[in-house]
Amino acid sequence: MKTLEAGQIFPKTEIARLGGGTLTLGEPSGTDRWQLVVIYRGLHCPLCKKYLARLEQVKSRFHDNGIDVVIASGDPEEKAQAMADEISITVPVGYGLTIEQMRSLGLYVSTPRGPQETDQPFPEPGIFVVNNQGKLHIIDISNAPFSRPDLDALAGGLEFIRANDYPIRGAHAA
Protein backbone atom coordinates (compact mmCIF):
# COMPACT_ATOMS: atom_id res chain seq x y z
CA MET A 1 0.00 0.00 0.00
CA LYS A 2 1.25 3.44 -0.90
CA THR A 3 0.93 6.07 1.80
CA LEU A 4 -0.12 9.54 0.73
CA GLU A 5 1.29 12.45 2.69
CA ALA A 6 -0.19 15.80 3.61
CA GLY A 7 1.00 18.50 1.23
CA GLN A 8 1.91 16.19 -1.62
CA ILE A 9 0.26 16.51 -5.01
CA PHE A 10 -2.80 14.26 -5.10
CA PRO A 11 -2.46 11.51 -7.71
CA LYS A 12 -5.19 12.50 -10.16
CA THR A 13 -7.29 9.44 -10.82
CA GLU A 14 -9.65 9.15 -13.76
CA ILE A 15 -12.61 6.80 -13.48
CA ALA A 16 -15.96 6.28 -15.15
CA ARG A 17 -18.76 8.65 -14.09
CA LEU A 18 -22.42 7.82 -13.64
CA GLY A 19 -24.34 9.43 -16.46
CA GLY A 20 -21.43 9.06 -18.86
CA GLY A 21 -17.94 10.38 -19.34
CA THR A 22 -15.22 10.37 -16.75
CA LEU A 23 -14.61 11.86 -13.33
CA THR A 24 -11.15 12.97 -12.29
CA LEU A 25 -10.49 12.60 -8.59
CA GLY A 26 -8.15 15.38 -7.49
CA GLU A 27 -9.16 17.89 -10.14
CA PRO A 28 -11.36 20.70 -8.81
CA SER A 29 -13.63 22.42 -11.33
CA GLY A 30 -11.89 25.82 -11.26
CA THR A 31 -8.66 27.55 -10.33
CA ASP A 32 -9.95 28.84 -6.99
CA ARG A 33 -11.94 25.72 -6.07
CA TRP A 34 -11.01 22.72 -3.93
CA GLN A 35 -12.31 19.16 -4.14
CA LEU A 36 -13.60 16.82 -1.44
CA VAL A 37 -13.16 13.21 -2.58
CA VAL A 38 -15.18 10.66 -0.61
CA ILE A 39 -14.37 7.00 -1.23
CA TYR A 40 -17.04 4.59 -0.05
CA ARG A 41 -17.00 0.82 0.28
CA GLY A 42 -19.92 0.04 -2.03
CA LEU A 43 -23.62 -0.67 -2.28
CA HIS A 44 -23.30 -3.53 0.22
CA CYS A 45 -22.35 -1.17 3.06
CA PRO A 46 -25.25 0.19 5.18
CA LEU A 47 -22.90 2.62 6.95
CA CYS A 48 -21.89 4.05 3.57
CA LYS A 49 -25.53 4.65 2.72
CA LYS A 50 -26.04 6.60 5.95
CA TYR A 51 -22.80 8.55 5.46
CA LEU A 52 -23.53 9.45 1.85
CA ALA A 53 -27.11 10.42 2.71
CA ARG A 54 -25.69 12.80 5.33
CA LEU A 55 -23.18 14.11 2.77
CA GLU A 56 -26.08 14.90 0.47
CA GLN A 57 -27.69 16.90 3.31
CA VAL A 58 -24.58 18.99 4.05
CA LYS A 59 -23.07 19.29 0.55
CA SER A 60 -24.17 22.93 0.24
CA ARG A 61 -21.79 23.88 3.08
CA PHE A 62 -18.91 22.53 1.02
CA HIS A 63 -20.15 24.03 -2.25
CA ASP A 64 -20.75 27.44 -0.64
CA ASN A 65 -17.14 27.32 0.58
CA GLY A 66 -15.73 26.70 -2.91
CA ILE A 67 -15.31 22.95 -2.51
CA ASP A 68 -16.53 20.50 -5.13
CA VAL A 69 -17.82 17.20 -3.72
CA VAL A 70 -17.36 13.88 -5.53
CA ILE A 71 -17.80 10.29 -4.42
CA ALA A 72 -16.36 7.06 -5.80
CA SER A 73 -16.17 3.32 -5.19
CA GLY A 74 -14.98 0.14 -6.79
CA ASP A 75 -18.56 -0.89 -7.54
CA PRO A 76 -19.53 -1.57 -11.15
CA GLU A 77 -21.89 0.89 -12.83
CA GLU A 78 -25.13 -0.92 -11.93
CA LYS A 79 -24.29 -1.00 -8.21
CA ALA A 80 -23.11 2.63 -8.20
CA GLN A 81 -26.37 3.62 -9.90
CA ALA A 82 -28.39 1.62 -7.37
CA MET A 83 -26.60 3.45 -4.52
CA ALA A 84 -27.18 6.85 -6.14
CA ASP A 85 -30.86 6.03 -6.69
CA GLU A 86 -31.41 4.61 -3.21
CA ILE A 87 -30.12 7.68 -1.39
CA SER A 88 -30.95 10.28 -4.09
CA ILE A 89 -27.34 11.41 -4.40
CA THR A 90 -26.79 14.42 -6.65
CA VAL A 91 -23.01 14.91 -6.39
CA PRO A 92 -20.85 13.40 -9.16
CA VAL A 93 -20.42 9.65 -8.69
CA GLY A 94 -17.41 7.75 -9.97
CA TYR A 95 -17.33 3.99 -10.16
CA GLY A 96 -15.08 1.10 -11.06
CA LEU A 97 -11.99 2.03 -9.01
CA THR A 98 -9.46 -0.72 -9.66
CA ILE A 99 -7.38 -2.32 -6.93
CA GLU A 100 -4.34 -0.60 -8.43
CA GLN A 101 -6.09 2.79 -8.20
CA MET A 102 -7.21 2.06 -4.63
CA ARG A 103 -3.62 1.28 -3.69
CA SER A 104 -2.28 4.41 -5.44
CA LEU A 105 -4.61 6.44 -3.21
CA GLY A 106 -3.32 4.67 -0.11
CA LEU A 107 -6.67 3.04 0.62
CA TYR A 108 -7.10 -0.16 2.53
CA VAL A 109 -8.64 -2.89 0.37
CA SER A 110 -10.81 -5.66 1.82
CA THR A 111 -11.84 -9.07 0.57
CA PRO A 112 -15.58 -9.77 0.85
CA ARG A 113 -16.64 -11.99 3.75
CA GLY A 114 -18.83 -13.87 1.30
CA PRO A 115 -21.44 -13.36 -1.42
CA GLN A 116 -23.83 -11.81 1.13
CA GLU A 117 -21.43 -8.85 1.27
CA THR A 118 -20.25 -8.39 -2.33
CA ASP A 119 -18.43 -10.25 -5.08
CA GLN A 120 -15.09 -8.41 -5.40
CA PRO A 121 -12.41 -6.68 -3.31
CA PHE A 122 -13.46 -3.17 -2.28
CA PRO A 123 -11.91 -0.04 -0.76
CA GLU A 124 -12.36 0.91 2.85
CA PRO A 125 -13.42 4.54 3.46
CA GLY A 126 -11.20 7.44 2.50
CA ILE A 127 -11.60 11.23 2.56
CA PHE A 128 -9.27 13.51 0.64
CA VAL A 129 -9.43 17.29 0.49
CA VAL A 130 -7.47 18.56 -2.50
CA ASN A 131 -6.73 22.29 -2.52
CA ASN A 132 -6.61 24.59 -5.55
CA GLN A 133 -2.91 23.76 -6.03
CA GLY A 134 -3.70 20.05 -6.33
CA LYS A 135 -2.16 19.32 -2.92
CA LEU A 136 -3.59 17.11 -0.20
CA HIS A 137 -4.82 19.46 2.49
CA ILE A 138 -6.62 16.80 4.53
CA ILE A 139 -6.34 13.00 4.46
CA ASP A 140 -8.51 10.57 6.42
CA ILE A 141 -8.16 6.88 5.60
CA SER A 142 -9.77 4.07 7.58
CA ASN A 143 -9.38 0.31 7.49
CA ALA A 144 -12.97 -0.27 8.64
CA PRO A 145 -16.41 1.20 7.97
CA PHE A 146 -16.88 2.39 11.55
CA SER A 147 -14.34 5.22 11.54
CA ARG A 148 -15.08 8.26 9.36
CA PRO A 149 -14.89 12.00 9.97
CA ASP A 150 -18.04 13.78 11.07
CA LEU A 151 -19.20 15.71 8.00
CA ASP A 152 -20.44 18.73 9.94
CA ALA A 153 -17.10 19.01 11.74
CA LEU A 154 -15.25 18.60 8.43
CA ALA A 155 -17.36 21.30 6.77
CA GLY A 156 -16.77 23.65 9.69
CA GLY A 157 -13.05 22.94 9.69
CA LEU A 158 -12.81 23.64 5.97
CA GLU A 159 -14.74 26.88 6.41
CA PHE A 160 -12.10 27.91 8.98
CA ILE A 161 -9.22 26.76 6.77
CA ARG A 162 -10.48 28.65 3.73
CA ALA A 163 -11.38 31.83 5.67
CA ASN A 164 -8.06 31.98 7.52
CA ASP A 165 -5.63 30.67 4.91
CA TYR A 166 -4.83 27.91 7.41
CA PRO A 167 -1.81 25.90 6.26
CA ILE A 168 -1.56 22.19 5.53
CA ARG A 169 -0.87 20.44 8.82
CA GLY A 170 1.22 17.31 9.34
CA ALA A 171 3.44 17.91 6.31
CA HIS A 172 6.70 17.08 8.13
CA ALA A 173 7.85 13.49 8.31
CA ALA A 174 8.01 12.09 11.83
Q: Delimit the domains of the chain by residue range.
A: 13-162
Residue 117: its pLDDT value, please?
A: 76
Work out the pLDDT band at 30, boundaries 50, 70, 90.
confident
Q: 71-92, pLDDT tens digit by residue? A: 999 999 999 999 999 999 999 9
- The string of pLDDT tens digits covering residues 108-140 is 999 888 887 788 899 999 999 999 999 999 999
Query: Do residues 111 and 14 lie in contact, with contact meaning Cβ atoms separated by under 8 Å?
Result: no
**Confidence category of residue 152, pLDDT binned at 50, 70, 90:** very high
Residues 6+ apart with CB under 8 A from 118: 42, 43, 44, 112
**DSSP classification of residue 91:** S
Cβ neighbour number for residue 76 with a 10 Å cutoff: 15
Cβ(77)–Cβ(37) under 8 Å?
no
Quick check: 142 pLDDT over 90?
A: yes
CATH architecture of structural domain 13-162: 3-Layer(aba) Sandwich (3.40)
- pLDDT surpasses 60 at 174: no
Does the model's pTM come out above 0.85?
yes
